[in-house]
Structure 1
Amino acid sequence: MFGSVEHELEMGVPAKETWDLFSTVRLGRFLEKEMPNLFQKVELVEGDGGLGSIFLKTIVPGKLGTGIVSCKEKVTKMDNENRIKENELIEGAYLELGFTIFKIRFEVKEKGEESSIIKTTLEYELKQEASANASLVSMAIQEAANVAQLAKLHLNQK
Structure 2
Amino acid sequence: MKGHLSADTPVAASASLVWDAYRGLELGRLVTELLGDVIGRAEVVEGDGGVGTIIKLTFPPGTPGAGYMKEIFRIADEEKRVKESETIEGGFKALGFDQYRIRLEVIEKDAVSSIIRSSVEYEIGDDSKTDLASLATTKPLEIMAETIGKYVAQKNSSTS
Q: Does TM, normalized by the shorter one, top 0.5?
A: yes
For 2:74, the equivalent position in structure 1 comes to 76
Q: Does 1:35 align with 2:40?
A: no
Distance of 1:12 and 1:33 partners within structure 2: 21
Distance of 2:76 and 2:40 partners within structure 1: 25
Q: Bigger shift: 145-154 or 38-47?
A: 38-47
Query: 1:113 is matched with which residue: 111, 124, 135?
Result: 111
For 2:149, the equivalent position in structure 1 comes to 152
Show structure 1 runs of 5+ residues with no match: none
8 Å CA contact 2:12–2:150 kept in 1: the answer is: no
Distance of 2:147 and 2:78 partners within structure 1: 22
Distance of 2:138 and 2:39 partners within structure 1: 16
For 2:158, the equivalent position in structure 1 comes to none
- Aligned residues with identical type, % of pairs: 35
**1:111 alignment partner, SS class:** strand
Q: Does 1:136 align with 2:121?
A: no
Deviation of 1:114 after TM superposition, in Å, equals: 1.4
Deviation of 1:115 after TM superposition, in Å, equals: 1.2
Show structure 2 runs of 5+ residues with no match: 156-160
- Mapping of 1:2-81 within 5 angstroms? 2-65=2-65, 68-81=66-79
Question: Relative to 1, partners in 2 of residues 1:131 and 1:61: Cα closer, same or farther, differing over 3 Å?
Answer: farther
Question: Relative to 1, partners in 2 of residues 1:144 and 1:39: Cα closer, same or farther, differing over 3 Å?
Answer: closer
Deviation of 1:44 after TM superposition, in Å, equals: 0.8
8 Å CA contact 2:39–2:140 kept in 1: the answer is: no
Q: Which residue identity is paired with 1:11?
A: V
Q: Which residue identity is paired with 2:119?
A: T
Deviation of 1:88 after TM superposition, in Å, equals: 0.5
For 2:120, the equivalent position in structure 1 comes to 122
Deviation of 1:39 after TM superposition, in Å, equals: 3.9
8 Å CA contact 2:10–2:115 kept in 1: the answer is: yes
Q: Which residue identity is paired with 2:32?
A: E
Distance of 1:102 and 1:61 partners within structure 2: 22
TM value normalised by structure 1: 0.91
What RMSD in Å do the two structures reach over aligned CA positions?
Answer: 1.3
Distance of 1:43 and 1:18 partners within structure 2: 21
Q: Which runs of 4+ in 1 moved over 4 A?
A: none
Deviation of 1:96 after TM superposition, in Å, equals: 1.0
